[in-house]
Structure 1
Amino acid sequence: MNILLIEDDLTLGRSLQKGLAEAGMRCEWRRDGKSGLTALQEQQADVVILDQLLPDLVGLEVLNAARKMGLRVPVLILSALGSVEDRVTGLQHGADDYLVKPFAFPELLARLQALSRRTLEVPSQRHTVGTLTLDLSTRRVTRDGEDIDLTPTEFSLLEYLMRHAGQVVTRRMVCGHLWEADWEGVTNVVEVHISRLRAKIDRGHPEPVLQTVRGRGYLLTDASPPDASGSARL
């Protein structure tokens, strides 16, 4: 299981990272809200452990931004703020679980495993980013309720991008998904498919959902890209 830990306390962070590693989990650790949000966008975490009182952006701000970007990764808030009001507020803002400090490490492990199982047991057949919707059961793509006709390759590409909504997807990742090959050097083929897909899903809409992040890859989101100065359209 891949865990993203966003926690500013040095002692607790080191302890959690070590304990999770000993439990057979991979733990990426960030110590402030801004870098935590960036990691959320770029990495494929199975569960996020999110502290509430963080530098730069507090936990709820990180959570709100992630949900607005379409990120659906399970989030467990880990906080010293333990009143009923605090817990209710966290859950209402999109958290999937809430654990109050101090806590028992075995309970944290159990909660992480439960969140991971819940995600695996209910595979989503419908993906939505802003007004763009893809339905796997009907193979239908719509934006603002209007049907969009895609080729099988374009549909598969869009499904992959939507499953990683809010995250930067590299050309190598696209190649691996579409052709089960690692040939990132041949960029023009990927760019052609991206360009054709963008023309179909963004045509007639003032706010594009498919961005190109220079030097990094592609980003599907209904929010601004992580670095607007480094993004451009093909």
Structure 2
Amino acid sequence: MKILVVEDEPKLAGFVSKGLQQAGYLVQWAGSGTEALEKAASETFDLILLDLMLPGMTGIDVLKNLRAFKIPSPVIIVSALSGTSQVVEGLDLGAVDYIRKPFEWDELLARIRIQQRKALGSESTRIAIDDLLIDFITREVSRSGKPVQLTAKEFTLLEYLIRNLNRVVSKSQILENVWNMDFDPESNIVEVYMHQLRKKIDKGFETSLIETVIGVGYKFSGSKSML
């Protein structure tokens, strides 16, 4: 899951970004409303955490522009505002949730998990791809009943592949969406992680779920069902 943190206070933004990264999320930070719009217009984010009290362009202005530009990323308002008028206006403009500063870290993660469930199109957080079972909240993975131990980055890579199930994704797309990196022909980080992921998921099984499409990229194939 790729999250844009829109917060003008660097220390708080750093704390939130680091915590989300440790939780396995891909995170970018925007320190102003203008920067947030530029990032949201040029990249796809699964969720935006938006402060309302921003210098220059306010959070409300950001919401108005997101909708005007038809940017569909769901927005959670994260604000210290004690009044309700701006929060209500933000929700009316399409924000999906609101959390007040200072917030409990576990509460923020819980609100994010709610959006993950909605993104899956079901109240369930568990899916099956053939005999591979994935729980996006607990981050537990198993195949044919055998637990598969993944690192945080391996799980993020798996999640991205599953979101593009039965579609070929290129190395540059993986770098951008999993590592937030531009294409680097000298880097073999994608190949290394794909090798590790394939070894953990496919080794010892008759059917391979991960396929290398030579000269194009990678494809995760299978039939998906919600559990």
TM-score range, shorter chain: 0.5 to 0.7
Secondary structure of 1:27's partner? strand
Residues 107/35 of structure 1: CA separation in 2 closer, same or farther (3 Å cut):
same
Segments of 4+ moved more than 3 angstroms: 179-182
Contact 2:60 2:86 in 1 (8 A): no
Q: What is the distance in 2 between the residues matched to 1:5 and 1:52?
A: 12
Contact 2:2 2:45 in 1 (8 A): yes
1:11 counterpart = 2:11? yes
Equivalent pairs, count: 130
Residue 180 of structure 1 and its aligned partner are, at CA, apart by: 4.6
1:173-199: per-residue Cα shift (whole Å, max 9, x none)?
xxx9xx9586x9xxxxxxxxxxxxxxx
Gaps of 5+ in 1: 123-175, 185-234
> Normalising to structure 2: TM-score of the pair?
0.53
Q: What is the distance in 2 between the residues matched to 1:67 and 1:83?
A: 23
Gaps of 5+ in 2: 123-163, 173-227
The one-letter amino acid of 1:108's match is L
Residue 117 of structure 1 and its aligned partner are, at CA, apart by: 1.6
Residues 142-157 of structure 1: matches in 2 within 5 Å? none
Contact 2:7 2:51 in 1 (8 A): yes
Contact 2:33 2:58 in 1 (8 A): yes
1:17-61: per-residue Cα shift (whole Å, max 9, x none)?
111011111110010110110101111111000111112311010
Residues 67/11 of structure 1: CA separation in 2 closer, same or farther (3 Å cut):
same
The one-letter amino acid of 1:21's match is Q
Secondary structure of 2:95's partner? coil
Q: What is the distance in 2 between the residues matched to 1:121 and 1:48?
A: 18
Q: What is the distance in 1 between the residues matched to 2:18 and 2:169?
A: 35
Q: Find the counterpart in structure 2 of residue 28 from structure 1.
A: 28
RMSD: 2.4
The one-letter amino acid of 1:67's match is R
The one-letter amino acid of 2:54's match is L
Q: What is the distance in 2 between the residues matched to 1:21 and 1:46?
A: 14
Residues 181/7 of structure 1: CA separation in 2 closer, same or farther (3 Å cut):
closer
Q: What is the distance in 2 between the residues matched to 1:55 and 1:11?
A: 16
Residue 68 of structure 1 and its aligned partner are, at CA, apart by: 1.1
Residue 113 of structure 1 and its aligned partner are, at CA, apart by: 1.3
| 71-80 or 112-121, which deviates more | 112-121
Secondary structure of 1:78's partner? strand
Q: What is the distance in 2 between the residues matched to 1:105 and 1:82?
A: 19
Secondary structure of 1:121's partner? coil
Residue 84 of structure 1 and its aligned partner are, at CA, apart by: 2.8
Identity rate of aligned residues, in percent?
36
Q: Find the counterpart in structure 1 of residue 52 from structure 2.
A: 52
Residues 28-177 of structure 1: matches in 2 within 5 Å? 28-121=28-121
The one-letter amino acid of 1:41's match is A
Residue 88 of structure 1 and its aligned partner are, at CA, apart by: 1.3
Residue 10 of structure 1 and its aligned partner are, at CA, apart by: 1.1
Q: Find the counterpart in structure 2 of residue 145 from structure 1.
A: none
